[in-house]
Structure 1
Amino acid sequence: MPDPDSGDDRSLLDLLCLAMIPGIGPLTSRALLEHFGSAAKVLSASLSDLKRVPGVGPKLAEKIVSARRELDPEVELERCRQRGVRPIPFDDPEYPEPLRSIADPPALLYVRGTLLPTDSLAIALVGARKATPYGMRIAERLAGSLARVGLTVVSGLARGIDAAAHRGALRAGGRTIGVLGNGLGSIYPPEHAELAAEVAASGAVVSEQPMEQKPLAGLFPQRNRLIAGLCLGVVVVEAAPRSGSLSSAHHAMEQNREVFAVPGPIDSITSRGCHALIRDGARLVETVDDILEELGPLARAVSVSQEPEAPEVRHPAELSLTDHERAVLGHLDDLPRGIDELIVRTGLAPSQVMATMAILEMRRLIRRNAGNQFTRI
Structure 2
Amino acid sequence: MPTDTQHQIALSFVPGVGSILIRQLISYCGSASEVFQAPLGRLLKIPGIGEVTARAIRKPDALTEAERVMNRLEKLGASALFFTDKAYPARLKTLYDAPALLYMQGNGDLNAPRTIGLVGTRQATDYGRRITNDMIEALVPYGVNVISGLAYGIDIAAHRASLIHGLSTFGVMASGIDIIYPNVHQKTAQEMLVQGGLLTESPPGTKPDAHLFPARNRIIAGLSDVVVVVEAAAKGGALITAEYANNYHRDVFAVPGQLNQAFSAGCNKLIRENKAQIYTNPRDLIEALNWDKPHTPPGEQSLTKVGSSSLPLDITEEESQILALLRQAQSIHVDELSWKSQIPMGRLASLLLNLEFRGFVRSLPGKKYAAVYV
TM-score by length of 2: 0.71
Counterpart position of 2:296: 301
Q: 1:46 to 1:130 in 2, by over 3 A?
A: farther
Structure 1 position 24, deviation (Å): 3.7
Counterpart position of 2:84: 91
Counterpart position of 1:289: 283
CA contact (8 A) 1:147 1:175 kept: no
The structure that has the greater radius of gyration is 1
CA contact (8 A) 2:176 2:207 kept: yes
Counterpart position of 1:246: 239
Which string of whole-angstrom CA distances, capped at 9 and with x for unpartnered residues, describes residues 45-91 of structure 1? 56776566666667655544435467332221111111110112223
Would you say 1:190 and 2:174 are equivalent positions? no
Aligned positions of 1:58-69 closer than 5 A: 63-68=56-61
Aligned residues: 297
Aligned positions of 1:1-377 closer than 5 A: 4=1, 10-21=3-14, 24-44=17-37, 63-68=56-61, 71-116=64-109, 119-281=112-274, 282-296=276-290, 301-302=296-297
CA contact (8 A) 2:7 2:63 kept: no
Which consecutive residues of structure 2, in runs of 5 or more, have no partner in the other structure?
A: 303-374
Which consecutive residues of structure 1, in runs of 5 or more, have no partner in the other structure?
A: 304-313, 315-377
Aligned-residue Cα RMSD (Å) equals 2.8
Return 43-52 or 244-253, whichever deviates more.
Answer: 43-52
Which string of whole-angstrom CA distances, capped at 9 and with x for unpartnered residues, describes residues 81-133 of structure 1? 11110112223222222222322333222111123376231000011122233
Q: 1:278 to 1:182 in 2, by over 3 A?
A: same
Paired AA for residue 171 in structure 1: I
CA distance in 2, matches of 1:271, 1:260: 13
CA distance in 1, matches of 2:33, 2:220: 29
CA contact (8 A) 1:30 1:104 kept: no
Which string of whole-angstrom CA distances, capped at 9 and with x for unpartnered residues, describes residues 298-353 of structure 1? 896349xxxxxxxxxx9xxxxxxxxxxxxxxxxxxxxxxxxxxxxxxxxxxxxxxx
Q: 1:45 to 1:268 in 2, by over 3 A?
A: farther
CA contact (8 A) 1:266 1:272 kept: yes
TM-score by length of 1: 0.71
Structure 1 position 145, deviation (Å): 2.6
SS at match of 1:72: helix
Which string of whole-angstrom CA distances, capped at 9 and with x for unpartnered residues, describes residues 235-289 of structure 1? 0111112211212111111211101101111111211111111123211112211
CA distance in 1, matches of 2:185, 2:15: 26
Counterpart position of 1:359: none
CA contact (8 A) 1:179 1:227 kept: yes
Paired AA for residue 112 in structure 1: Q
SS at match of 1:234: strand
Structure 1 position 190, deviation (Å): 1.6
CA distance in 2, matches of 1:242, 1:52: 44
Return 26-35 or 274-283, whichever deviates more.
Answer: 26-35
CA contact (8 A) 1:140 1:168 kept: yes
CA contact (8 A) 2:232 2:267 kept: yes
Q: 1:193 to 1:22 in 2, by over 3 A?
A: farther
Counterpart position of 2:361: none
CA contact (8 A) 1:169 1:175 kept: yes
Q: 1:211 to 1:150 in 2, by over 3 A?
A: same
Structure 1 position 34, deviation (Å): 2.7
CA contact (8 A) 1:142 1:287 kept: yes
Paired AA for residue 171 in structure 2: G
SS at match of 1:20: coil
CA distance in 2, matches of 1:129, 1:63: 41
CA distance in 1, matches of 2:48, 2:133: 42
